[in-house]
Amino acid sequence: MAIGRTMPAALAGRPSRHRIRRRSRRTHPWHLAAGLCLLVGLLLIDAFTYSMWKGVAEEERLTNAWRNEIITRIDLRTPAPQGIDTSLQRPINGVDFAIRVPKLHYYAAVKEGTDSGILYASPGHYPATKWPGSPGTVGVAAHNVYWIDFPQLARGDEVDIETRYGLYRYMVTGNEIVNPDNRTVLVPNSNGYHLTLTTCWPLWAGAFARQRFVVFADQIWPVPVKPDHS
């Protein structure tokens, strides 16, 4: 075929292959939207995974620091003294005390406060509740992603609280599911020595949980001294 030969009239009106390919490469708006949604989803998953990793790492750091501190401070095999040094009932180096649940092989340092920033890294002590060893209710909250599976705890199970002034042992007496605005489970009770643990419910709902799972326990060691009413 000679160079410069003209195109037949029948083919003159047809789009070239290059034009067809160019049109086919155009992205449909729905495809673009789906891609953006996928990208956002992946970023959210990455952010959540990073926050979990960071929270677990922070909890491990706090717990190890607590272990190193407490092992040189007191003998946890002996009962806590009746007279408490109240100057130790405050956060030191970011930690209030530690909690141990033998049945679940769980052990962690507990910080002061219950906002999301604290609970993403560790259990938190309700500031308005008592400290271990004082008459009333000790309240501890925990994020259900990082902490224990509360429903496994049953009546009679043991929960220990390690403080800078001694060890306190509690026995689970029951549980209850309540609404988030139900604060009666944390009402100070001067009649006895109690521990209340709370987490989100149901466990699988995470931040979207509509209720709270509550575990109640009473101090059994050291044996609480009954108030003198004489």
Q: What is the pLDDT of residues 45-100, one digit of tens each?
A: 554 454 555 667 888 899 999 999 888 888 877 778 778 889 999 999 889 999 99
For residue 49, being part of any structural domain is answered with no
Tens-digit pLDDT profile for residues 34-45: 777 777 666 655
One-character DSSP codes across the chain? --TTPPPPHHHHTSPPHHHHHHHHTSPPHHHHHHHHHHHHHHHHHHHHHHHHHHHHHHHHHHHHHHHHHHTTT--TTSBPPSS--GGGSS-BTTB-EEEEEGGGTEEEEEEE--SHHHHTTS-EE-TTSPPTTSSEEEEEE--TTTS--GGG--TT-EEEEEETTEEEEEEEEEEEEE-TT--GGG----SSEEEEEEEEESGGGGGG--EEEEEEEEEEESPPPPP---
For residue 34, being part of any structural domain is answered with no
pLDDT tens for the chain, 230 residues long, are: 444 455 555 555 555 555 555 555 566 677 677 777 777 666 655 544 545 556 678 888 999 999 998 888 888 777 787 788 899 999 998 899 999 999 988 899 999 999 988 888 889 999 999 999 999 999 999 876 555 677 889 999 999 999 999 999 999 999 999 998 888 888 866 689 999 999 888 877 766 788 999 999 999 999 887 755 54
> Count of domains in the chain?
1
Q: What is the pLDDT of residue 3?
A: 44
Question: Which CATH number belongs to the domain containing residue 196 in this structure?
Answer: 2.40.260.10
For residue 63, being part of any structural domain is answered with yes
For 104, the domain range is: 58-221
Q: What is the pLDDT of residue 1?
A: 42
For residue 180, being part of any structural domain is answered with yes
For residue 3, being part of any structural domain is answered with no
Whole-angstrom CA distances from 12 to 1, 21, 24 are 18, 18, 21
For residue 24, being part of any structural domain is answered with no
For residue 136, being part of any structural domain is answered with yes
For residue 110, being part of any structural domain is answered with yes
